A and B are shown apart, each in its own frame.
Chain A
Amino acid sequence: MSKNLRITNSKFIDQTSRISFKFDGKTLYGFKGDTLASALLANDIHLVGRSFKYHRPRGIMACGPEEPNAIVQVGSDASMTEPNTRATEIELYEGLEASSQNCWPSVNFDIGAVNNFFSPLIPAAFYYKTFMWPANFWKLYEYFIRKSAGLGKSPTEPDKDIYDHRYLHCDVLVVGGGISGIMAAKTAAKNNFNTLLIDDKNILGGTTLFQENECFKINNSYSSEWLKKEIETLKSLKNLTIKIRTSLAAYHNYNYLLARENLTDHLNINEKKDKIRQRLWKIRAKKVIISTGAMERPLIFNNNDRPGIMLSSSIKKYIDYYGVKCGQRISLFTNNDSAYEAAISLNNSGVIVNSVVDIRDKTNSLIVKQAEMLGIKIHWKSSVVNTSGYKKINSIEIMKLSDDGTAVVGKKIKEKCDCLGISGGWTPRVHLFTQSGGKLKFRDKDNVFLPNKSELDQISVGSCNGDFELDEVINNTVDSINKFLKVNNNDYENLEIISSKEINKKNIWLLPSDKPLGKTKPFLDFQNDSTANDIKLALREGFKSIEHVKRYTTTGMATDQGKLSNMHALGIIAETAGVKMGELGTTTFRPPYTPLTFGTIVGRNVGEFFDIIRKTPMHDWHVENKAEFENVGQWKRAWYYPINNENMHEAVQRESKAARDSAGILDASTLGKIDIQGSDASEFLNRVYTNAWSKLEIGKCRYGLMLNEDGMVYDDGVTTRLSENHYLMTTTTGGAANVLSKLEDYLQTEWPELDVYLTSVTDHYGTVSICGPNSKKILSKIIPDLDLSDKEFPHMSFKNTLIDNTKCRVMRISFTGEHSYEINIQASYAKSVWEKCYEAGKEFNITPYGTETMHLLRAEKGFIIAGQDTDGTMTPVDLQMDWIISKKKYDFIGKRSLYRSDTIREDRKQLVGLLTEDPKEVLEEGAQIVSETNKQPIEMLGHVTSSYFSPNLNKSIALAVIKNGKKLKGQKMFVPMKNKTINVTVTDTVFLDKENKRLNA
Chain B
Amino acid sequence: MFLINCPYCGQRDQSEFSAGGEAHIVRPKQPTELSDDQWAEYLFMRKNIKGVQFERWNHTHGCRKWFNMVRDTSNDKIHAIYKMGEKPPIK
Contacts and interface: CB of A to CB of B under 8 A. Distances in A.
Given A890-B32, A896-B32, A744 B56 contact: no
B17 to A, nearest CB: 12
B49 interface: no
B1 A252 contact: yes
Contacts of A749: 56, 66, 84
Contacts of A748: 65-66, 84
A745 B1 contact: no
B31 A896 contact: yes
Most buried by B among A253, A890, A896, A897: A896
B75 interface: yes
A741 interface: yes
Nearest to A253: B76
B27 A750 contact: yes
Given A749-B84, A752-B85, A890-B32, A900 B40 contact: yes
Contact of A253 (B2, B40, B66): B2
Contacts of A895: 31-32
Contacts of B82: none
Interface in A772-802: none
Contacts of A891: 30-32
A896 B13 CA distance: 38
Interface in A741-778: 741, 744-745, 748-750, 752
Contacts of A745: 20, 58, 66
Interface in B33-51: 34, 36, 39-40, 43
Nearest to B39: A896
Contacts of B26: 750
B60 interface: yes
B3 interface: yes
A284 interface: yes
B64 A744 contact: yes
A897 B39 contact: yes
A499 to B, nearest CB: 38
B3 A254 contact: yes
A901 interface: yes
Contacts of A252: 1
A843 interface: no
B91 to A, nearest CB: 21
Interface string A267-296: 000000000000000001000000000000
B78 to A, nearest CB: 9
A962 to B, nearest CB: 26
Given A752-B85, A897-B39, A284 B64 contact: no
Contacts of B56: 749
Contacts of A254: 1-3, 76
By CB atoms of chain B within 10 A, which of A252, A455, A748, A750 has the most?
Answer: A748
A750 B85 CA distance: 9
Nearest to A737: B60
Contacts, number: 52
A635 interface: no
Given A455-B75, A752-B85, A253 B1 contact: yes
Contacts of A901: 36
A437 interface: yes
A469 interface: no
A991 interface: no
A451 B66 CA distance: 38
Nearest to B32: A896
Contact of A741 (B2, B13, B43, B60): B60
A540 to B, nearest CB: 35
Given A254-B1, A284-B3, A745-B66, A710 B20 contact: no
Nearest to A751: B27
Contacts of B64: 744
Nearest to B56: A749
A436 to B, nearest CB: 11
Contacts of B20: 745
Contacts of A253: 1-2, 75-76
B65 A710 contact: no
Interface in B1-22: 1-3, 13, 20
Given A455-B75, A749-B66, A900-B36, A741 B31 contact: no
Nearest to A752: B85
B26 to A, nearest CB: 8
A745 B60 CA distance: 11
A479 interface: no
A709 interface: yes
Contacts of B3: 254, 256, 284
A741 B64 CA distance: 8
A740 to B, nearest CB: 9
Contacts of B39: 896-897, 900
Contacts of A744: 64, 66
A290 B67 CA distance: 35
Contact of B43 (A256, A709, A750): A709
Contacts of B43: 709-710, 897
A165 to B, nearest CB: 13
Contact of A455 (B13, B77, B84): B77
B36 to A, nearest CB: 5
Interface string A301-335: 00000000000000000000000000000000000
A737 to B, nearest CB: 9
Listed residue (A254, A709, A744, A745) with the most chain B CB atoms within 10 angstroms of its CB = A254
A741 B20 CA distance: 11
Nearest to B4: A254
Contacts of B27: 709, 750
B86 to A, nearest CB: 12
A766 to B, nearest CB: 25
A570 to B, nearest CB: 25
B65 A896 contact: no
A749 B66 CA distance: 7
Interface string B60-82: 10001110000000011100000
Contacts of B85: 752
Contacts of A710: 43
A651 to B, nearest CB: 39
Contacts of B13: 284
9 contacts: A253-B1, A253-B2, A254-B1, A284-B13, A741-B58, A744-B64, A752-B84, A752-B85, A896-B31
Given A745-B58, A749-B66, A891-B30, 11 more contacts: A253-B76, A254-B3, A256-B3, A455-B77, A709-B27, A744-B66, A748-B65, A748-B66, A749-B56, A895-B31, A900-B40
Considering the complex of A and B, which 9 residue pairs feature the smallest CB-CB distances, nearest first?
A896-B31, A256-B1, A748-B66, A750-B27, A254-B3, A253-B76, A896-B39, A254-B2, A455-B75
